[in-house]
Amino acid sequence: MKYKKTPIIFCIVALAFLVLVSIALGPLIKDFLIKTKPKGDVIAKINNYFLTTEDFTNELKGVSLPKQYRQQPSLWKTEFLEGVIRKQLMLQEAQRLALDKKKDFMDTIQRYWEQALLKSLIDTKSREISASISVYDNEIEQFYSEMVSKAAPTTIKPLDEIREDIIFKVKRRKETQAMQAWLENIRSKAKVSVHKEVLDKIND
């Protein structure tokens, strides 16, 4: 029997439902969670949604404000808040139309979740690898010798002038090699079985 892959969001919803049933709070829970005032200062109430200062600050992350807004904080905060309100209203409307329950939306959420998790893993491992790597004098000299052998001597600057650049390149190369070795190690330890006959049935 074949089983379809269950999107992570379905698992979360199912778990939340079981918890609510187990504590026997019944249908009042949803209304309670929506209408109870959350902890922290509330900037705005949008239908049954409370926008807190923490929410507002999170919305601001990664936003580059124009110069005129930085000089008029009251203006940009008011206008930015209006944008957040409109976004929240659109999200509520999408939920009212049950667009968040459609399969294509669930698939998009699943892909985004996977990509975000992979990025977090790669970033974490990259920092770990970078902190563990050193570049030694013999590696610098070897890299410089390779540069000299591949180019006309008159086009190569003295080692002392490009030493920092070489250190950066050598370190990046060692980081890439370490990352590849780490991935190969994960692959070699994993139990993976491939059914080629099933793969062959997929149309090109």
Q: Is the pTM higher than 0.85?
A: no
**How many whole angstroms separate alpha carbon 52 and alpha carbon 42?**
4
- Give residue 76's pLDDT: 81
Contact 127, 135 (CB under 8 A): no
Q: Which two tokens stand for residue 48?
A: 């049954």
**How many whole angstroms separate alpha carbon 5 and alpha carbon 113?**
14
- Give residue 21's pLDDT: 36
- Give residue 174's pLDDT: 97
Q: Within the chain, which residues score under 50 in pLDDT?
A: 1-35
Q: Which two tokens stand for residue 4?
A: 């379809």
**How many whole angstroms separate alpha carbon 11 and alpha carbon 16?**
9
- Give residue 1's pLDDT: 42
- Give residue 32's pLDDT: 36
**How many whole angstroms separate alpha carbon 87 and alpha carbon 94?**
11
Q: Which two tokens stand for residue 10?
A: 């379905």
